[in-house]
Chain A
Amino acid sequence: MQIKVKCSCGEGKCPEWAIVELQGAVEAQPSFQNCVENLQIGILCRPSSEESYTFTVGYHELMGAKQSLKKPILVLKKVKVDDEGEVELDVIGVIRHKILFKTRPKALISRAQPVLKPKINAPASLLN
């Protein structure tokens, strides 16, 4: 069986993609199980000019580094040409780099702490 792979974009114009590789899984909170769209997964940022990245998901901060892949990976899009099941694969991007987060995440406890605060806040709100 023949599979056609096409590249619609021109020479050297394929958009660069990147892989964010996590040692673990990103899970939605139970209350958001149904409405995951348009929610922020986390913040990926490069704190300095080095090849190190931080990725903040929930109350975890991941530290990772940018690596170049040994073999580039193509990102394909399956296009159905006709109803018989004829399939074309369209190249929509090429991946040459990945950002690998393989270390144990660091817990950001600043937010998770407030257990006693409500008590203080409560009268204030009440008095207002």
Chain B
Amino acid sequence: MDIPDFEELEWLESHGVDDEFDDDFELDVEPPSPPSSPSSDKPPQRPTLSLPPKPSPFKPQSQINPTSRKRAGSDLLNSISLDVNDKNGKRSRNGEDEARNEKFAQSECPDTGPMGSGNVGDSEKNNEGSDDDEEWLRFSPPRDTVEEMEVVEEVVQERILSRYATEIDGDCVPITGLDGERVYAKICSSVEMDEEMKIKKLNFRGDHNGLLQEPVRVLMEKVEHEQFTKALQGSVEDDMAEVVLSTAPVASEQLWVEKYAPCSFTELLSDEKTNRKVLLWLKQWDSCVFGSDIKSTTDDVLTSLRRHSTGSQHFKQSTKSYFQKNRETRFNRDIPKTHNDLDKENDTSLGDQEMWDKKHKSSGPPEQKVLLLCGSPGLGKTTLAHVAARHCGYRVVEINASDDRSASTIEAKILDVVQMNSVIADSKPKCLVIDEIDGALGDGKGAVEIILQLLSAEKKSDTGKENIAQEENSGRKSSRKKQKSSVLLRPVICICNDLYVPALRPLRQVAKVHIFVQPTVSRVVNRLKYICTKEGVKTSSVALSALAENTECDIRSCLNTLQFLNKKKEILNVMDISSQVVGRKDVAKSAFHIWKEIFQKKRGKSSSRSNKSSSSTSKDFEFLYSMISNRGDYELILDGIYENILQLNYVDPLMQKTVQCLDNLGVSDIAHRYIMRTQQMSLLVYQPPIAIFIHGLIAQLERKDIEWPKSLQRNRTILAERMDMFHTWHGRISPYISRHLSAKSFVEDSISSLLHILSPPTLRPVALHLLSEKEKSDLGQLVNTMVSYAITYKNIKSDRSDTWRHEDALEATTIALDPPLSNFIHFKDYNSCHIDLALAVKQVLVHEVEKQKILQGSLSRSSNPHVEENHVFAKNNAGTRLPSKSSCTNGSVEKKTNQISPAAEKAKLSKAVDEVKSVQRTRKTSGGLTSFFNRIKKVNKDGSEVPNNVDEPKSATVRRDSHPFLFKYNEGFTNAVKRPVRIREFLV
């Protein structure tokens, strides 16, 4: 790969950028301040880059010479390219250099703390011996130490604040402004002055005897105030003035988190790989955002970045350039880590390269126009987004979606940022950072939807032809803008905590997702140590690492804890942290996490700790209790335990543990029910101990797959379904039977027997007339039972239709009980011993039951409702025991009726029986079953025709009698009813 000459490149860039930004700078009252990152602050032309000397603080800024202004404005971009060029150069060295570098890095790794002052000193020595031209290169690689690296010689006297520590003689304090810029303020004198004044104040307080009009104290305050305002005026030309003045006196008041926030890319604490990927992604926007002037550089940048991010070092470059002798300086402690991950990264490197190659040709914005960073709080997502965007020359516009919840306001903001260029002031292109996008889901998914809209609009308009020159492209885009209002022109970085929030699903598909992993404890500890030494807090690295572990490497909470302790003048010690007094996070864990904790013993540390102290069980208890109660959803958690407990393989030969666990679950269930019934929520505190007890019983070292509890829900729906089925069926049974059947007793006691009765093993699958007398009576009884219990067989489409086809060519269906009674006793892994009747028998039964039903229905209709029940009985007996002796039937019927009904009904009964007999007779004579229905109908007609004829006119008159008048409704307006009457009609 060709590497352009450095000077030339630089020149090109600076000029290109100058051209671009010159106009804007004319408008500026104050020039944009150069970024504070010292590594990028040093282009080759050192004199022009360094801050113009300020003879007096009151000197107006406008007197600064134009070149430096330009320099200041453009050096951000410049620094990017330089930085990257440096990397490029590094990368382009040959293999053996690489190897040496690695060795060097590994050897140097252990002692490169963030405050490795000795190391810095070494490098400074090296710097002095090296070429002036390339000196800046040594400082461009990532480095945690900021101020020590400064080698600016010129010291301005009477400096209060400066960007370089060396410009201030005496003690100074670094101050990082809200926008991440860092200056060094000379505060020692002011502190001294404060002390002096304190003394003075003390003195003055004594002799306040009213000689002066105002007490001396007030005067002193006035003087102080004047000084203050003077200083304010003096430093007004500097951006940082306000920040400094407000922060310097109250430096201790500032949150350490903000104070020590990384302000340059090299200071980032998050995983280097992720950082570089984010930077690469941002760089891919360059050609789109900044125009074609710096395109060539961008390509180089991309190349090097890509190599960094993929971590593959096999790109052999034969150029042994002047970088070679400075190579050692670019190393930092991140390199070994990259190498550790090499295997993993190589897998991705191919894909990345392909993607990049495509990009390289097209030189448009990256394929995925939205970057989604996710990770747990405190890992530095927001910081990375800000720093990387600033590093790439963007002005960061942050939208905190948690604040602006309504979709319309978010939309307006996003469109503002993404589509418009600011004309005035800071003319850097904007980069949109949407923080906590998962919070922006108030109504209608808010921000996510808007971004998706933008992206889809983009897709529609971009119908290929991406590799068109940038000028054309921009022209087209502007014309396109008239048609389509929304096109994404600026990088958008979204930040979320939980990637798998359902509302983010659409965004997840289109965005480039980077998941933040926890930084290693050592990195966090190093940084913490650095800060502690800066702040003068005495700590031990053991305590710090314990703190970092406790907070899961959440550096924000670490710092807050440290500052809190510092403020309280307490010293961080290991006991505090391990006893969870400090640095403990109150974060609700997911249910799965809790189940895992319950089912899994902690290994390693906890066991060793248990050796040390006997209070580990109580600590464990404390930990689990707080975790479960933080989550709060006890019912779900205990459900999950119940669901998964039997899947675990714990040693339990006598089933005692299992029994105990299930007992406890039962207790918790009863307690929960009681709590829910009585609404005594305070009793809920007794739920976690149950889970913890179970943990004590069955916790294993090995990891088990935990399933989400579904069985409760599933069983509940099945129960509802079955109960519904039962009730419909219950309703169909005639009441004199159904009143004896409750759901509980039926399911628990009688259903199995009933199924046995319904499927007698003695029935032969033969034609009806081939059955013996006994079999026929059995069949009759069976049909009788089925009718009275409203059970029948029904054709059901079977899934095994092809197997049935062999047996029965005509029907591809099975025949099953109509209320599927067997479902009531269908349990998992339980095979009922009921015999399934043969298909032929079932078919016969279907017919017989239908027949019986019709017979019953028609007879009951023609009989007096008063004796209907008896009739049914009689008919059933008579009908089914048709071949048996009729006298016997009659006798039995009569007996029964005698018992139940008075003698007066005998006649009716006998008539009914006669009817039945006639039916039987006709049936006998015909011998077949097919003509049966006709007979019945005929009989019915015979029986009811005459009375019907007689009755009809009578009933008609009765009805008419009841309504002598009928109302006829007239549609329309009421005038239709009114009728005009002439006055004449009154008079005649």
Contact = CB atoms under 8 A, between A and B. Distances in A.
Interface of A: 1, 3, 21-29, 31-32, 36, 39-42, 57-60, 62, 76, 78, 85, 87, 89, 100, 102, 104-105, 111, 114, 118-127
Contacts of A21: 974, 977
A1 B987 contact: yes
B969 A105 contact: yes
B885 interface: no
A45 to B, nearest CB: 15
A60 B967 contact: yes
Contacts of B318: none
Contacts of A76: 986
Contact of A29 (B862, B955, B960, B977): B960
A57 B947 contact: no
Interface string B934-966: 000000000110111011100101011011111
Contact of B960 (A31, A104, A123): A31
Contacts of A87: 986-988
Interface in B965-979: 965-970, 974, 977
10 contacts: A23-B970, A24-B968, A25-B968, A32-B960, A39-B965, A42-B965, A42-B967, A122-B950, A126-B946, A127-B864
Nearest to B954: A118
B950 to A, nearest CB: 8
Nearest to B911: A127
A3 B986 contact: yes
Interface in B882-927: 907-908, 911
B951 A23 contact: no
B977 A22 contact: yes
Interface of B: 861-865, 907-908, 911, 943-944, 946-948, 950-952, 955, 957, 959-960, 962-970, 974, 977, 986-988
Given A29-B966, A39-B964, 13 more contacts: A22-B977, A23-B969, A26-B965, A28-B964, A42-B965, A57-B965, A58-B965, A59-B966, A89-B986, A118-B952, A122-B947, A124-B864, A126-B946
Given A122-B948, A122-B951, A125-B951, A26 B986 contact: no
B948 A118 contact: yes
A82 B370 CA distance: 109
A104 B969 contact: yes
B967 A24 contact: yes
A41 B965 contact: yes
A81 B964 CA distance: 38
Most chain B CB neighbours (cut-off 10 Å) among A1, A42, A122 = A122
Contacts of B986: 3, 76, 78, 87, 89
B968 A27 contact: yes
Contacts of A28: 964-966
Nearest to A120: B861
B947 A126 contact: yes
A27 B861 contact: no
A61 B922 CA distance: 52
Given A24-B970, A78-B986, A118-B955, A123 B965 contact: no
Nearest to B985: A78
Nearest to B963: A58
A32 B960 CA distance: 9
A121 B967 contact: no
Contacts of B964: 28-29, 32, 36, 39-41
A111 B948 contact: no
B987 A125 contact: no
Contacts of A111: 959, 962
A8 to B, nearest CB: 18
Contacts of B862: 123
A120 B908 CA distance: 14
Contacts of A40: 964-965
Contacts of B951: 118, 121-122, 125
B967 A62 contact: yes
A111 B963 CA distance: 10
A26 B967 CA distance: 5
Q: How would you classify the secondary structure of chain A's contact residues: helix, strand, loop or mixed?
A: mixed
B966 A26 contact: yes
5 nearest CB pairs, A to B? A122-B947, A58-B966, A57-B967, A58-B963, A24-B969
Nearest to A56: B967
B965 A27 contact: yes
Contacts of B944: 119, 122-123
A32 B952 CA distance: 19
Contacts of B907: 127
A82 to B, nearest CB: 14
Most chain A CB neighbours (cut-off 10 Å) among B862, B957, B962, B963 = B963
A76 B968 CA distance: 28
B959 to A, nearest CB: 7
Contacts of B977: 21-25
Contacts of A100: 974
Given A1-B987, A24-B977, A29 B864 contact: no
A24 B970 CA distance: 4
A27 B862 CA distance: 39
A102 B974 contact: yes
Contacts of B959: 111
Contacts of A59: 963, 966
A40 B987 CA distance: 32
Contacts of B908: 127
Given A21-B977, A24-B968, A123 B963 contact: no
Contacts of B911: 127
A58 B965 CA distance: 6
A105 B948 CA distance: 33
B636 to A, nearest CB: 52
Contacts of A31: 957, 960
Nearest to B864: A124
A119 B943 CA distance: 10
Nearest to B863: A123
A122 B908 CA distance: 14
A105 B967 contact: yes
A1 B948 CA distance: 67
Contacts of A89: 986
Contacts of A27: 965-968
Nearest to A59: B963
A85 B988 CA distance: 7
Contacts of B966: 26-29, 57-60
Contacts of A42: 965, 967
B963 A29 contact: yes
B247 to A, nearest CB: 77
Contacts of A25: 967-968, 970, 977
A127 to B, nearest CB: 5
B974 A23 contact: yes
A36 B964 CA distance: 8
A127 B867 CA distance: 13
A67 to B, nearest CB: 12
Nearest to B947: A122
Most chain B CB neighbours (cut-off 10 Å) among A23, A31, A42 = A23
Nearest to B862: A123
Nearest to A1: B987
B947 A125 contact: yes
Nearest to B969: A24
Contacts of A120: 861, 865
A120 B860 CA distance: 9
Contacts of A26: 965-968
A105 B626 CA distance: 70
A102 to B, nearest CB: 6
A103 to B, nearest CB: 9
Nearest to A32: B964
A55 B684 CA distance: 62
B968 to A, nearest CB: 5
A95 to B, nearest CB: 15
B947 A123 contact: yes
